[in-house]
Structure 1
Amino acid sequence: MATSLGSNTYNRQNWEDSTKEKYGKECKICARPFTVFRWCPGVRMRFKKTEVCQTCSKMKNVCQTCLLDLEYGLPIQVRDTSLSIKDEMPRSDVNKEYYTQNMEREIQNSDGTRPVGMLGKAQSSSDMLLKLARTAPYYTRNRPHICSFWVKGECKRGEECPYRHEKPTDPDDPLADQNIKDRYYGINDPVANKLLKRGTTMPHLDLPDDQAITTLYIGGLGEDITDSDLRNHFYQFGEIRSITLVQRQQCAFIQFSTRQGAELAAEKSFNKLIINGRRLVVKWGRSQAAKGTDVREGYSEMGTKLEPVPGLPAALPPPTGLDHESPANYFNLDPGSSPAAMNLSLPPPPGLPNPPPPGFGPPMFHPMGPPPPPPMGLRPPGHIHYPSQDPHRMGAHASIRHSD
């Protein structure tokens, strides 16, 4: 074990010696010489090197190479604007040297891991920083530069050329004009301005009108997030009534006991909820009444609109002039006629001497079966006779003989 540890230490020391150059260049901020590291991050990537010294990097808590914040991965201007930090670092050579010496002494007295100056006094984070924070490495910045010979049409290396064969950026694009000092001081940074505009236009979660809704939808769980992980995060906002995990859809439904707890959880978690390295989707749930309305109006239970199936026949329109709910229309009578008038207009059924008097029993129904249709001569004009109305074709005689 000791031999392996010594071998790893030796290899690490050799790697550091091969990538660093002691006091090779001056810092682009304080102009003091510092140890420069130079390395290649991967295959077909351009070589990277440190641009500022460790003192300037620790004063702003930024990377020595890309000058992005070490905690959020954002430009300094975005971080300072979100945290309302006013940079008071001097710009002149004499004052800058004096300020740097004092800050270096403060860094040595501290543990060296926490930021100093105005950034060290900032206590809380910002919602905008949590929304814009980068959670994955951005390898695009390691791409090689554009080949100037290819732009002129004179590159003869072909695929062996270590530079990019792409069209250069439009010179009118504001992202093409970047200055390392402006990025460090947090002024006139085009990348920061782009991110700040994105932060102001980011979507927000509207509160549902139904006050009975206390459920939040959590999407994008994956397979490594469990019920306990969700409970450990959401218990701080209020009492949780139930947590329902749907592994097939990789989502969960968290129901709070109070509407106030659900609103607080939605406000603190929307677009900034990260559990086990995964950014999760937070939305409001819907009531059962809203789901039923959406389904009747052509929406599924998940809220997606249902498209019509091609090739299916359309619904047949009802017959014009006929109302199947009213029996008067079968005999072309006035819908306002009384039941007695409707009954008197019918001929007596066969086998009965006289029809039942008006007012006794239903006028349209008889114990011997449905009445036969009137003769053709007595039928009013425009009346339609359906074969199913004929009692001889409906098994009336069979039923009568069986009853006899």
Structure 2
Amino acid sequence: MPPKRDLNKVGTEQSDFPILCETCLGENPYVRMSKQEYGKECKICVRPFTVFRWNPGSGARFKKTEICTTCAKIKNVCQTCLLDLEYGLPTQVRDAALGRINTAPTSDINKQFYTQVMEQQMANTSSGMMADTHDAQLASSAAKEMLKEMARKDPHYKRNRPHICSFFLKGDCKRGNECPFRHEIPAENGLEKQNLQDRYYGRNDPVAKKILRDNAESKGLTPPEDKSVTTLIFLTLPVCGEPDVRSSLMSACPFIQAKQIKTITTVAASHCAFVIFQDRATAERVADSLTAQGGIEVLGKRGKVVWGRPRPAKKAITASATATAVSA
């Protein structure tokens, strides 16, 4: 057995096979791949890694791996599309449902050291996938079922289509039908600008936001238009106190800190609790996570989560009362 390498001297990665989802691999069962060692830098840990390139099928564009196998194993994602291998969903959706915390550093040097440490840990485990073990420990059955409902059942080979021709958009493409790119006007739906690092780390991913928004609307948890509303209401709770609700909330959403929760008020007669957060962004993130988990579990009973209502403006109340008095 060769001796372990010094973490401070490891700056590259080699691999024999890529980690790909069924969609990126393509519908053709016979795929020929080209392999180039140290072909490019990983888009996440910026280490040179082995790049694989292939054609997933007839009429599709050539695809290649974008991140190294170590980064893919850490998050359990495809090396090309960076979607979760089990559910085919963005990591932001999966992490919201499973209540996972992003502990990866942001600076390039720290990211390299973090990746190398995780690589050593995976070498000492039997599974090799860090995210699978973590999910098995944290995920509830309700969260897993919710992810299965949101997941696409069949491969989405439409993602392998050629890119849109930039010359066609400018009205200057002279290839016509021989152009290998698509001649169509892109739909402006807010999903055009996607960043690989945002998708990998699960932050500001427009596709994930759309999935979470559609799921919230289907569950009747559409965020109110009034941005001043930062209150979530937990319904159908058992007889409990403020510490029980706080403990369950921190356990279901470990990404929030205690100081981000402004107040928690329980109403025993109505079996509900009012949770006010310091800012709207935190409230929306908690709402997305709890919706993906199918509610919040307090003392063994699962409760429903809804948004609070905006308070009516005092001036409007005064004006309404004055108009009523004058008319009388």
TM-score when normalising by structure 2: 0.54
AA aligned opposite 2:215: G
Q: Where does structure 1 lack aligned partners over 5 or more consecutive residues?
A: 1-13, 205-404
Distance 1:103 1:121 in 2: 18
> Partner of 2:103 in structure 1?
88
SS of the residue 2:100 aligns to: coil
Distance 2:77 2:56 in 1: 19
Distance 1:44 1:15 in 2: 14
Distance 2:217 2:68 in 1: 36
C-alpha deviation, 1:198, in angstroms: 1.3
Could you tell me whether the CA contact under 8 Å between 1:58 and 1:115 is conserved in 2? Answer: yes
Could you tell me whether the CA contact under 8 Å between 1:36 and 1:49 is conserved in 2? Answer: yes
2:150 counterpart of 1:135: no
CA RMSD of aligned residues (A): 2.1
AA aligned opposite 2:76: N
Distance 1:118 1:87 in 2: 12
Could you tell me whether the CA contact under 8 Å between 2:68 and 2:79 is conserved in 1? Answer: yes
Distance 1:52 1:112 in 2: 20
> Partner of 1:36 in structure 2?
51
Distance 1:40 1:167 in 2: 24
> Partner of 1:149 in structure 2?
167
Q: Which runs of 4+ in 1 moved over 3 A?
A: 116-121
Matches within 5 A, 1:39-58: 39-58=54-73
1:202 to 195, 211, 218: 218
Q: Where does structure 2 lack aligned partners over 5 or more consecutive residues?
A: 1-29, 221-328
Distance 1:79 1:33 in 2: 28
Distance 1:110 1:92 in 2: 27
Could you tell me whether the CA contact under 8 Å between 2:191 and 2:207 is conserved in 1? Answer: yes
Could you tell me whether the CA contact under 8 Å between 1:86 and 1:118 is conserved in 2? Answer: no
- Larger relative contact order (CA 8 Å, sep ≥ 6): 2
C-alpha deviation, 1:22, in angstroms: 1.0
Cα distance change, pair 124–113 in 1 and its aligned pair in 2 (3 A): farther
SS of the residue 1:200 aligns to: helix
C-alpha deviation, 1:169, in angstroms: 3.5
SS of the residue 1:65 aligns to: coil
C-alpha deviation, 1:159, in angstroms: 1.4
Distance 1:154 1:147 in 2: 10
2:181 to 153, 158, 163: 163
AA aligned opposite 2:43: K
Could you tell me whether the CA contact under 8 Å between 1:72 and 1:129 is conserved in 2? Answer: yes
1:190 to 187, 203, 206: 206
C-alpha deviation, 1:174, in angstroms: 2.1
Bigger CA radius of gyration: 1
2:196 counterpart of 1:180: yes
Distance 2:129 2:118 in 1: 13
AA aligned opposite 1:150: F
Distance 2:153 2:88 in 1: 8
> Partner of 2:89 in structure 1?
74
C-alpha deviation, 1:112, in angstroms: 3.8
Distance 1:199 1:123 in 2: 18
Q: Between Structure 1 and Structure 2, how many residues are aligned?
A: 188
C-alpha deviation, 1:99, in angstroms: 1.4
SS of the residue 2:212 aligns to: helix
C-alpha deviation, 1:118, in angstroms: 4.5
Cα distance change, pair 105–66 in 1 and its aligned pair in 2 (3 A): same
AA aligned opposite 2:140: S
Distance 1:169 1:158 in 2: 21
2:130 counterpart of 1:115: yes
Distance 1:15 1:175 in 2: 30
Cα distance change, pair 119–109 in 1 and its aligned pair in 2 (3 A): same
Q: Deviation per CA, 1:193-241, whole angstroms, max 9, x where unpaired?
A: 000011112269xxxxxxxxxxxxxxxxxxxxxxxxxxxxxxxxxxxxx
SS of the residue 2:204 aligns to: coil
1:21 to 32, 36, 47: 36
Could you tell me whether the CA contact under 8 Å between 1:22 and 1:35 is conserved in 2? Answer: yes
Q: What percent of counterpart residues are identical?
A: 56
Could you tell me whether the CA contact under 8 Å between 2:60 and 2:161 is conserved in 1? Answer: yes
> Partner of 2:264 in structure 1?
none
Distance 2:31 2:204 in 1: 37
C-alpha deviation, 1:145, in angstroms: 0.7
TM-score when normalising by structure 1: 0.44
Q: Deviation per CA, 1:161-210, whole angstroms, max 9, x where unpaired?
A: 1100001343xx42111111000000000000000011112269xxxxxx
